[in-house]
Amino acid sequence: MQINTATMNAKIHLTLILIMIYGFAVCQQRLGLDLNTSGSSMYGNFSYQKVFSKNFIFHSSLFGGYLAHSAVINERTGFANGLQVISPFESINDDRVKNNETYELRSYELKGRGIGISCGVGVFHEFSVKHGIKFLLNGRFGYSWTKVHSQHFNANDAYDIEEFNTIMHTFSAISPEIYHTIRLGGRSTLLYGLKLPYHILIDRKNYDPINIKDIFYGLEPEFTFGLTYVIGKCDE
């Protein structure tokens, strides 16, 4: 009786494993590559997606490149009216001292280059053999090596203290996304659409923006264009 029970358990386990393998083999999977821009950024995104439960999608990706750019530039005359400039980095905000004179932050420029991952779920619907629409909701997390060009000024000095620094920090966002998909024939599909990442601050100690112009802050819409390729066996 014990042998029969052990044999039965082994058969059940084997059956479950075969079902899982079959599911991964026959359910559609796609690899994708797309380019993204917000107008001041350009980066690539390599993605994997798997269809489950009819029209629902699991999605994950690895992205990297020139992620963001912004500048806060002020004229020296503005400080006569009490203007104060605060960058996202405490080390950049600190006053500089030269010849016993204090220099305050006047302007700064940020260029974010980095890498990150995203994952989420979505749904798709096809209107015809060739055309469809896809919605995704992704979470993002990444690291940026942000180049900071800063200028500190003193009213008694005609020249600013100019510095160039690179600061590493994290960033994160929630990104609703919508795409128009166009089948090109065979296993390839063209897609283009709009990503709407809304950045969430989780590491204010190292990156704490307060200016709407700062990178990785608030809503930063992106246009995306790319291709996907089916590696599974069933149709979307």
Distance, CA of 233 to CA of 50 (rounded, Å): 11
Q: Which long-range contacts (CB under 8 A, 24 or more apart) does 159-168 make?
A: 160/103, 160/106, 161/96, 161/98, 161/103, 163/92, 165/91, 165/92, 167/89, 167/91, 167/206, 168/143, 168/144
What's the confidence (pLDDT) of residue 26? 47
Distance, CA of 131 to CA of 228 (rounded, Å): 14
Contact (CB, 8 A) for 226 and 34: yes
Confidence check: pLDDT of 107 > 50: yes
pLDDT band at 13, cuts 50/70/90? low
Tens-place pLDDT, residues 30-84: 999 999 999 999 999 999 999 887 789 999 999 999 999 999 988 776 666 667 8
What's the CATH number of domain 28-230, 2.40.160.20, 3.20.20.80, 1.10.3470.10, 1.10.10.10?
2.40.160.20
pLDDT band at 128, cuts 50/70/90? confident
Tens-place pLDDT, residues 146-167: 999 999 988 888 889 999 999 9
DSSP designation for 40: S
Specify the pTM.
Answer: 0.81
